[in-house]
Each structure stands twice: as C-alpha cells, then as structure tokens.
Amino acid sequence: MASEQQLSAIKGAKVLMVGAGGIGCELLKTLALSGFQDIHIIDMDTIEVSNLNRQFLFRKLHVGQSKAKVARDAILRFTPRISITPYHANVKDPDFNLDFFKQFNVVLNGLDNLDARRHVNRLCLAADIPLIESGTTGFLGQVTVHVKGKTECYECQPKPAPKSYPVCTITSTPSKFVHCIVWAKDLLFAKLFGDKNQENDLNVRSSDSASSSEHVEDVFEIKNGEDIEQYGRRIYDHVFGYNIEVALSNEETWRNRNKPRPIYSRDVLPAELIQENGSVDKNHENGNAVKNQENGNVDKFFVADDPSAVFAMASLGLKNPQDIWSLVENSRIFLEALKLFFTKREKELGQLTFDKDDQLAVEFVTAAANIRADSFGIPLHSLFEAKGIAGNIVHAVATTNAIIAGLIVIEAIKVLQNDTSNYRMTYCLEHPSRKMLLMPVEPFEPNKSCYACSETPLLLEVNTHRSMLRDFVEKIIKAKLGMNFPLIMHGSALLYEVGDDLEEDMAANYAANLDKVLSELPSPVTGGTILTVEDLQQELSCKINIIHREEFDEEKEPDRMNLSGWTQAPPKEKENTNISSDNGASTSTTSQTVTLETYGDDDIEILSTGTESVSAGKKRKVSDISDATTSDLSNIADKSSGKKKHEELDDDDDVVVMLGDGNSDISKKKRLQ
C-alpha cells in the first residue's frame, strides 16, 4: 500500500513515456492503476497483427492505427478521470525539444533502437530530468535508473555493436545459414531493389575476380526486349550458377573446404514449368516433376486468381511459413517474388531496404538464402526461421513485459521522492540465481570519461591530408556519436552546419566543405587541432582532439580513423568487426563487413553488476567496489542455465537479442554510494 508521501508524489507527477509497444502497454496500464494523473506518450509506430499476442491494449480492428492514440483510448475506458496525451510522432522530431522535456518530472523509455535511446538520454541530461530505461527479450529483462550527476547516464557504458560479418565470408565461403541470410538481405536484395548507385559486390572473391567485375556491372540491368521471367532466370543463373563457378576456379580456397555446386535454373525448373501459372508439387525435386498417374500432367498447387496479390506464397499456393521448402519451391518463390517486386511495386524500386515486416521481402530473402545454402551444403530453413534470423528475433513473453513495467513504476516512485539511496538496477533472469529471479543492484556512478555526461574530450586519429570532412561527419559524428544535426567548429570558424534555416550561399559553402580534405578546409584541421562538435537538437556538445596519423590497417581500421574516449563495445568474435559505412552497405574492399541488424521488444543490455562479490540490493562503499573485480550478471544466469549471454534487447514487434560468446572481459566499476 502506497504511503501518503508516495501518493502525493504520484498524483503531482507529469510523466513522459517514450514507446507504446510490448512494455509500453503494460507500463501505461500500471501507471494508470497506480494513480498517475498526467501521462504523455510518444510513439511513431502503427499497430500490426504481430503485436496483438502481447500488446493487450490493441485489437485486430486497430491494425494500422497509431499505437499511442489507441493505447490512450483503451486506458481511458477503465480510468476515465486521468489525463493521457498521445503523440503519433518520432521522438527525434524538432517539436520534442529541450523545453518540451523540461515540463516532465521523469521520462520512461521503451524504445527499439540505440539511436533514439541516445537522443532521449541526451535531452534528459540537458533538461536535468531523470530517465528510467527498460527492456525485455524472452524471459530476460532489466530496468535501470539514470539521474544526472548521481548515476551513470545511458551512454556511460559500452553498447554492443550489431553483429557484422566480413564480406569475404559472405560472398565466398559461407558456412552457416546466417551467412546466407546476410548475403541475400544485404547484398542481393539491396542490389536488385535498393539504391543502384550503392557499391555492392556479388562476385565471389577469387584470384581473378577482377576479370569478372565488368560482368557484374551490367548483369543486374534489364536488357532491351527482355521480359521479367527471362530477367529473373538470368539473375538466378548469375548469382547461383556463374558466381559459384567463379569461386570454384580458385582451387586453393577449397583445399580444406567442401566445394559448393553451381545451380542453374534450367536444372531445377525446366522451361515448360516456368510457363505454367502455378507451382510444382512438394515432391518435385531437382527438376524431376511428379506426374499424375491418371493423366500424366504435372501436379500444381492452387494459384490465386487475384491479380493484385503481392505475396509469392499466396501466388504459388504455399500456406505454412513453418514448412521447409524444397529447392524447387525456393526457386519458384525466388522468381515469383522478383516478378512481383518489378510488376506490383515498381514505384518502390531503387529505394527499398529490407524490412522484417515486409512479407514479400522476407519471402525473397528466405528463398535466396535457401538456394545459396543448398549450393554450399548448408541445411535449409523455413520462412519462419529465416525471418527470425534476419531480424535476430527472440519472441516476446508478455509476463516479462508486465514484470518489467511494474519495476519501472517502482523506480519512478523512488525518483519522484528523490529517494537516491534506494535506486536500483533490477534484472529479471530466466533461471533462478541464489533462489532469485529478480536481481536488484545499486546503480553505478557517472563515468568520468563519458562524452555525453562529462566534459572529457575525445581523441581522433586520422590522416588529415587524405580524409575528407564528409568522412568525418558520416563515419564519426553521425555513425559513432549519433548526432543528427551536427555543427562543427574550429575555434571561432564554423566548418559545417545543417538546418532548414540556413541561407542558400551558406548551405552551399558547407556542402562544398564536405568534399575537401581536412587539412584544406578554410580553417585547416591538422594534428593538434581541437574541434568543437554540437548537436543543438540534442543539446549535446563535445570536443575532439585531432591526432594526425599517416597509415592505417585497412582490415582492422577500414574507416581510416580511430576514435577513442567513447563507449562503443568492442566486437565479441574475431570474425566480427564494426561496419565501416553508416548505412550498412557493403563494398568491394576486402576489409568491408556486413551488419546483421536487430529488432525487438525494448532494448536491454546486461551490465556488470558485481553480484558475486556483493549481495543483491546490499550497499557497498565505492572504495570497496573499486578494489574488487565485478562479474557479468548474465554469467550468473549462465551458471544455472548454460545459456549464452544476452547483450542487447529491443522493444518493437518482436523481441530481439544479440547473442555474444559469454567471454567478455571482467571490468571494474564504481557503484553509487
């Protein structure tokens, strides 16, 4: 039962919720039933069918409507006397500025990506408003408290980078189905339906791959007089046949590996089958059609008569996404999906990116990945499994969301009462540890080297005679520091700025600066230069000390820049490195990597908690903690479950997790006294 003091704090509070998804629905309900009177919700998403299994405020009739608005209406039906203000918008919109954040007593986050989380964290720091972060994935969850000057901010500790795979592995020697998914999603799908000007290498890397580069340049263009069926077959033969033969020409590559086999459409789908408006029977394998014993005709699945159908499965009569398609079925899906993209969605061509909620995109990627997997002797997967791999999806557990929502409200009440000594980071475990499923630990002190909440400058090693300002903006300022509208100054000289209110001549000058090397800017940037970088929207400012460096290891440092002093997590596996371009596109350089994006139900990261050297919920002196090594909470869970460590979780339509190897370095951290 809440005390009078708690009730007073609750009723007088103005709360901002960011996110109305898996945790958001539970959180809004819990806030309303706990007595909160003034709640504001921001969410840019609309309701999808996949949300309905756990986001209980939504019904089928709400599909396509704003999550924030429908959630408000649902809550007001049983608590009509409270005020709930919904915003169907992006939290990064200019309307949600510093003045907007200052009106709240506490901000509660339930976001689905690192970029938006950093944005909210920075505005909370600037507005001096407490932030409570949360996340779930499957049975795991966590709640953390971030109060300026008292606890660490969201960016004080490393955040795991998305898993990446070297292009040489993806294009040449895949050994896992995930390699085939990344190839199909980030290379083939992007090449066929994405930005045509984006560098993309679909050739297998071999000693004579350069000789085939010309072939790659024009094979993806539709030729004069070529219909879409002919084009589809030609693409099929190039990526699954020709490229494999190119790979096989390098015998050294396959000395200790199983050789792949080239697959051509003529061998899998005889020409007469392509002309039929239907699919082959499931027992039709390797081009050998199953004949009907009575009439000798090829068996076919039901074919949808609706000409507007945009799903390859529907067009070919395949219904169960958990079936594993045969090579023939995958080939038919591949060609049908490609045809539908070019005939039904031609206006989107050239700007498409893979979306796990785009059924046709998932069908195409699944089929392409399976055909490639078959070529390399890798087991095939169902569409359901492939979608999970492509999105790194771990399906949500509604009970975990409810538990985490309750913990958020508990911490929010402590924050509203300024009960600093009782703040807790609480972790929800899948298996009991020391007979506990909930593990509360004290928050950490602010990290003095955090560029977001301290004034510690960053260091950037760069060749100032080769790297352009554009490289600095795209690869460092935006990709690594997460700034949206950067302003760059050298002393009093303004080198770069963006904004709608800029005069045309100024905007042109700044655009021209982007293509100049750093040392040739109007105010030259050389070794020893100190740059000031600001994002006025995020109210963030930091200084970057420039160190000139002549040479870089292209394999380990593909950006030709090395930023130190920021809190990006290192790669967990030897083969995984950070992608060198902002948008995740691959290039033909051998050091390039392809990133496997993640999606999910409220971003979680399990931090070091010191639970092996201090009891849960028990206070400990800073000096004691600094002298003791701390262990990772997930390792405690590992001891009881044998599971791998969960590093990063998200909130969206599906719960997402990044799985590491469980061997991260033991760290030393200070706890809040």
pLDDT tens digits, 479-491: 888 888 899 999 8
651 is in an annotated binding site: no
Is CATH 3.40.109.10 correct for 4-161+396-441?
no
Please indicate whether residue 286 or residue 466 has the higher confidence score (pLDDT). Answer: 466
Q: Which of 168, 180, 428, 542 is catalytic?
A: 168
Tens of pLDDT along 253-272?
787 788 999 999 999 987 65
Mean pLDDT throughout 380-407?
A: 87
pLDDT-derived band at 218, boundaries 50, 70, 90: low
Q: How many CB atoms are closer than 10 A to CB 509?
A: 16
Per-residue pLDDT at 168: 66
Whether 515 has a binding-site annotation, put simply, is no
pLDDT at 533 over 70: yes
CB distance 118 to 109 below 8 Å: no
Cβ atoms of 250 and 173 closer than 8 Å: no
458-607 CATH: 3.10.290.20
Mean pLDDT for the stretch of residues 654-665:
34
Tell me which of 617 and 387 has the higher pLDDT.
Answer: 387
Over residues 410-455, the pLDDT tens digits come to 999 999 999 999 999 999 998 888 888 999 999 999 988 888 888 7
Query: How far is it, in rounded angstroms, from Cα 285 to Cα 280?
Result: 9
Looking up tokens 């913990």 gives 407
pLDDT of 328 > 80? The answer is yes
| 610 labeled binding residue | no
Ligand-binding site membership of 112 (annotated): yes
Is residue 538 scored above 60 in pLDDT?
Answer: yes
Confidence of residue 283 (pLDDT cuts 50, 70, 90): very low
What are the CA-CA distances from residue 668 to residues 333, 529, 538, 609, 632 (Å)?
A: 52, 33, 30, 10, 11
Backbone angles phi, psi at 591, to 5 degrees: -90, -5
What's this model's pTM, rounded to 2 decimal places? 0.63
Q: How confident is the model at residue 1 (pLDDT cuts 50, 70, 90)?
A: low
Length of the chain: 673
- Identify which has the larger pLDDT, 192 or 48: 192
CB 595 within 8 A of CB 571: no
In the chain, which residues fall in CATH 1.10.10.520?
175-377
Mean pLDDT for 656-671 is: 36
90 annotated ligand binder: no
Q: CB neighbours (10 Å) of residue 9?
A: 22
| 126 is known to lie in a ligand binding site | no
pLDDT, one tens digit per residue, over 602-634 is: 434 333 333 333 334 443 333 333 333 233 343
Query: How far apart are alpha carbons 431 and 643 in whole angstroms?
Result: 10
The three state secondary structure string of 465-514 is CCCEHHHHHHHHHHCCCCCCCEEEEECCEEEEECCCCCCHHHHHHHHHHH
Burial of 599 (0-12, 13-18, 19+ CB in 10 A): buried
553 is in an annotated binding site: no
Span 317-322, average pLDDT: 89
Rounded distance, CA 219 to CA 227, Å?
14
The better pLDDT of the pair 585, 330 is held by 330
When the pLDDT of each residue in the chain is averaged and rounded to a whole number, the result is 77
pLDDT above 90 as % of the chain = 42
Supply 183's token pair.
């190839």
User: Binding site annotation covers 528?
Assistant: no
428 is in an annotated binding site: no
Q: Do the annotations mark residue 156 as ligand-binding?
A: yes
Tokens of 62: 């709400």
Alpha-carbon gap, residue 503 to 31, rounded angstroms:
46
Q: What is the pLDDT of residues 71-94, one digit of tens each?
A: 999 999 999 999 999 999 989 888
The predicted model gives 5-19 an average pLDDT of 93
pLDDT for 198 equals: 65
pLDDT of amino acid 412: 96
CA distance 131 to 144: 8
Q: Residue 643 — pLDDT band, cuts 50, 70, 90? A: very low
- Name the nearest CA neighbour of 31 among 70, 65, 76: 76
332 and 269 in contact (C-beta within 8 Å)? Answer: yes
Element (H, E) at 328: helix 327-344
* 233-259 mean pLDDT: 87
pLDDT of residue 657: 34
Of all residues in the chain, what percent carry a pLDDT higher than 70?
73
pLDDT at position 439: 92
Mean pLDDT of 322-330: 94
Structure tokens at 543: 């200084």
| 169, pLDDT greater than 90 | no
CA-nearest of 138, 654, 660, 50 to 393 is: 654
DSSP code, position 58: -
Of these ranges, 396-400, 530-534, 588-592, the one predicted with the greatest mean pLDDT is 530-534
Provide the pLDDT for residue 5.
84
Instruction: Write down the CATH number for the domain with range 175-377.
Output: 1.10.10.520
What pLDDT shows up at residue 170?
Answer: 77
**Which pLDDT band holds residue 576 (cuts at 50, 70, 90)?**
very low
Q: What is the pLDDT of residue 279?
A: 42
pLDDT band at 654 (very low <50, low <70, confident <90, very high): very low
43 annotated ligand binder: yes
pLDDT at position 665, please? 36
pLDDT recorded at residue 658: 31
Domain with CATH 3.10.290.20 in the chain: 458-607
Residue 199 has a pLDDT of: 60
| 660 pLDDT higher than 50 | no
Non-local (6+) Cβ contacts of 256 within 8 A are none
- Does the CA dihedral 564-565-567-572 come out positive or negative? positive
- Name the DSSP letter for residue 46: B
Structure confidence at residue 219 as a pLDDT band (50, 70, 90): confident
pLDDT given for residue 380 in this prediction: 95
pLDDT, tens only, 201-210 = 564 333 333 3
**Distance between CA 197 and CA 585 in Å, rounded?**
11
Secondary structure (3-state) at 563: strand
H helix or E strand, kind and range, residue 649: strand 646-650
Q: What is the mean pLDDT of residues 346-372?
A: 91
- Is 25 noted as a catalytic residue in this protein? no
